[in-house]
């Protein structure tokens, strides 16, 4: 154990990004489960730690709490640099961040639980419309990610080394499959997903490997 506490939920793709990074760096946090279907991410005790009311959050050994998965992963990469999850040079670093942000900022927020619930309960959209919405935003984002990934050879999005981009992409592809989004137009992303899902750090981070999976 590291003395760190990771607040998450087995199906949270944002928490999954952090689990991947922590596994790659062999960091073993204590897990504190916030059941999203029971709205536990908005319980008073959690809001005191993370007023955003979203998972993940990471409580550090000495007490401070970090929110936002990419900020957490960057923090971990800076404080536990082995293995590095960003390339050394500024240009490839920016490119990796760019793809990670495209997933985390341009796809994921549009398909997050609270957005889907708002569409359904406040705007009264049908299941079919909700599913069209989900597919539309995944396809929009994956088109450019596929072009980027196809420009590299190797098992990971950016070639031979695992990066932030893989930690963001793999959960997003899993979610797309869960919501029956067709992925035929994204063969390179699907191949990277298949490779990463076979790696121990990714397997151990997957929803089905979590204690709250059920
Ligand atoms: N940008 C945030 C997103 C966090 C987020 O949206 N988490 C989702 C789970 S993947 C959540 O807590 N959803 C609860 C809700 O929508 O009420 C991050 O990267 O950490």
Tens digits of residue pLDDT in 23-72? 999 999 999 999 999 999 999 999 999 999 999 999 999 999 999 999 99
How many angstroms from the chain centroid is the CA of residue 58? 14
108 CA from centroid of ligand 1 (Å): 8
pTM of the model: 0.96
> Which ligand 1 atom lies nearest to the CA of residue 13?
10
> Which ligand 1 atom lies nearest to the CA of residue 55?
12
How many angstroms from the chain centroid is the CA of residue 113? 14
Q: What is the mean pLDDT of residues 181-193?
A: 98
State how far the alpha carbon of 21 is from the alpha carbons of 9, 29, 61, 82, in Å.
Answer: 16, 12, 17, 11
104 CA from centroid of ligand 1 (Å): 10
Q: Does residue 143 have a pLDDT over 70?
A: yes
> Which ligand 1 atom lies nearest to the CA of residue 114?
16
CA distance 121 to 129: 13
Q: Does residue 89 have a pLDDT over 80?
A: yes
CA distance 161 to 208: 25
Residue 1's pLDDT band, with cuts at 50, 70 and 90, is low
Write out residues with Cβ below 6 Å of ligand 1. 12-14, 36, 41, 54-56, 68-70, 104, 112-114
For residue 214, the model assigns a pLDDT of 74
> Which ligand 1 atom lies nearest to the CA of residue 112?
16
Element (H, E) at 33: strand 30-33
DSSP readout, 140-175?
HHHHHHHHHHHTS-SSBTTBSS--HHHHHHHHHHHH
84 CA from centroid of ligand 1 (Å): 25
183 CA from centroid of ligand 1 (Å): 23
Q: In what order do the strands lie in the sheet with 5-8?
A: 30-33, 5-8, 57-59, 65-67
Atom 9 (ligand 1) nearest CA: 12
Q: What is the mean pLDDT of residues 117-141?
A: 97
The overall average pLDDT reported for the chain is 96
Residues 6+ apart with CB under 8 A from 203: 197, 209
CA distance 138 to 111: 8
73 CA from centroid of ligand 1 (Å): 15
């Amino acid at each position: 154990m590291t003395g760190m506490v990771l607040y998450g939920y087995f199906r949270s793709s944002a928490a999954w990004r952090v689990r991947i990074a922590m596994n790659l760096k062999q960091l073993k946090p204590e897990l504190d489960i916030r059941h999203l279907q029971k709205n536990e991410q908005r319980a008073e005790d959690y809001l005191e730690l993370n007023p955003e009311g979203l998972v993940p959050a990471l409580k550090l050994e000495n007490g401070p709490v970090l929110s936002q998965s990419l900020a957490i992963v960057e923090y971990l990469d800076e404080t536990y640099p082995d293995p590095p999850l960003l390339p050394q040079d500024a240009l490839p670093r920016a490119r990796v961040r760019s793809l990670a942000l495209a997933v985390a900022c341009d796809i994921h927020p549009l398909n997050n639980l609270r957005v889907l619930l708002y569409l359904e309960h406040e705007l009264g959209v049908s299941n079919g419309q909700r599913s069209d919405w989900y597919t539309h935003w995944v396809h929009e984002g994956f088109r450019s990610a596929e072009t980027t990934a196809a420009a590299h050879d190797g098992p990971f999005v950016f070639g031979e080394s695992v990066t932030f981009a893989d930690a963001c992409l793999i959960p997003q592809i899993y979610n797309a499959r869960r919501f029956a989004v067709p992925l035929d137009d994204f063969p390179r992303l699907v191949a990277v997903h298949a490779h990463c899902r076979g790696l121990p750090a990714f397997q151990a981070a997957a929803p089905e490997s979590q204690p709250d999976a059920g």
